[in-house]
Each structure stands twice: as structure tokens, then as C-alpha cells.
């Protein structure tokens, strides 16, 4: 059996080589980040289930986070039991923005818990074994939410697919926990 020689490879112009290289680079980027356009604004809406407070905020514009908007978000996501405020890590907000984008929803996230003070965390731990002693809520790096019109099981799956932190699913209470810690699921 004789082998036929392969036809010569077509010559690549500089332009086609760059285009192919870019296509390969884009294909190799993990799907975890949805924000493709540099400088895209990022907005979120919240309604806090315990206080009834509502907020819509564009917290990222151009190429930077907007400090005043981050402060407004942190205030709404404060520990509603004690009134303590702690800065919410913008990476958590980016996770929510990516979830909102992936769901196609324009609804406000219903917030069950954002920041949690040490006092509140200790009180909740005394009532339930499901509250972590070193909860990421204590650091402003976690949030418990639901999104109207989106099944919490679907929200959980989308959050897991991002691969950007912890995802807890609380079916009986109808909410999803997301944080920007190490990747883990419960």
C-alpha cells in the first residue's frame, strides 16, 4: 500500500496567522468570565428580603469599579440585624453580574444575606449546624440570593459552571449561596 503525499499546506499570510492565533487564544480562555468587552459597564439590582431596601447600581464603568457605588451596595448588603457595614468584595458582585448575564434576567437579586457580623454569625451558629464558624459572609466575600423567574436549581448550576468560588444550594429555603473563595459545592 503506497501512501500519497499530503498536499502542501496553504501559505498563511500574516493577517490569517494572527486571526487563527486569536481564535485559538479565545477558545483557550476558560468560560468562567463572561465579560468579553473591555470597558463594559456592570450593573446589578438588589432587593433585601429582610429590610425591603432596593438598589440598582452601575458599580463598574470604563475600566474601574465606582467607589461610591460599591459603598451604596455595601450599605444595602449590611448585617441587617446589627447595622454593621463591611465592604462587599467586588469579585462577588462580578459573579452575580455574570449570573445575571447568563440567565438573561433583568430582575433584581433578592438578597437573603450579604455581610454578616461576628455577633450575628455566632448567634446563627448557635441555632444551626449549617453556619460556618469562619463564614465568608464575615469577610464580605459571600452572598445568599435568589433571582425571580429563575429556578434556584438552575441558578446553582450556572454558578457552579462559572467555577469561581463556593456554591451552596438551599432548596428548602429557596436560595443559593455564592462566594469568591475556593471552588467547592454543597
- Give the CATH number, domain containing residue 59: 3.30.1380.10
Q: Which range of residues forms the domain containing residue 87?
A: 38-185
Residue 55 burial (CB count, 10 A): 17
Residues 6+ apart with CB under 8 A from 80: 48, 50, 51
Residues 6+ apart with CB under 8 A from 131: 121, 124, 125
| pLDDT for 41 | 95
Which range (92-96, 128-132, 143-147, 177-181) has the least confidence?
128-132
Report residue 54 as a C-alpha cell: 432596593
pTM of the predicted model, to two decimals? Answer: 0.79
Where does the chain show beta strands of DSSP type E? 42-48, 54-61, 64-65, 109-113, 142-146, 166-170, 175-179, 184-185
Dist CA 102 CA 154 (whole Å): 11
Count of domains observed in the chain: 1
Span 123-151, pLDDT tens digits: 998 998 888 888 999 999 999 999 999 99
Span 11-50, pLDDT tens digits: 544 444 344 443 333 333 333 344 445 678 999 999 999 9
pLDDT at 180 over 60: yes
Residue 180 lies in a domain: yes
Residue 2 lies in a domain: no
H helices of 54-184, in order, are 67-76, 90-103, 118-127, 152-162
Nearest 5 degrees, angle CA 169-CA 173-CA 174? 65
Residue 31 lies in a domain: no
Report residue 167 as a C-alpha cell: 456554591
| pLDDT for 40 | 86
Amino acid at each position: 500500500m503506497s501512501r500519497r503525499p499530503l498536499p502542501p499546506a496553504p501559505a498563511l499570510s500574516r493577517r490569517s496567522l494572527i486571526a487563527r492565533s486569536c481564535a485559538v487564544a479565545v477558545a483557550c480562555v476558560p468560560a468562567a468570565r463572561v465579560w468579553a468587552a473591555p470597558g463594559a459597564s456592570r450593573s446589578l439590582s438588589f432587593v433585601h428580603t429582610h429590610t425591603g431596601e432596593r438598589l440598582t447600581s452601575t458599580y463598574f464603568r470604563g475600566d474601574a469599579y465606582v467607589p461610591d457605588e460599591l459603598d451604596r451596595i455595601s450599605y444595602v448588603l449590611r448585617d441587617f440585624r446589627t447595622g454593621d457595614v463591611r465592604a462587599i468584595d467586588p469579585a462577588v458582585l462580578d459573579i452575580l453580574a455574570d449570573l445575571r448575564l447568563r440567565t438573561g434576567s433583568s430582575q433584581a437579586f433578592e438578597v437573603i444575606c450579604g455581610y454578616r457580623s461576628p455577633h450575628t454569625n455566632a448567634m446563627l451558629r448557635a441555632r444551626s449546624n449549617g453556619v460556618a464558624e469562619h463564614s465568608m459572609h464575615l469577610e464580605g466575600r459571600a452572598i445568599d440570593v435568589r433571582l425571580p423567574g429563575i429556578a434556584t436549581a438552575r441558578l446553582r448550576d450556572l454558578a457552579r459552571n462559572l467555577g469561581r468560588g463556593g456554591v451552596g444550594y438551599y432548596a428548602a429555603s429557596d436560595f443559593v449561596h455564592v462566594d469568591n473563595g475556593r471552588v467547592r459545592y454543597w
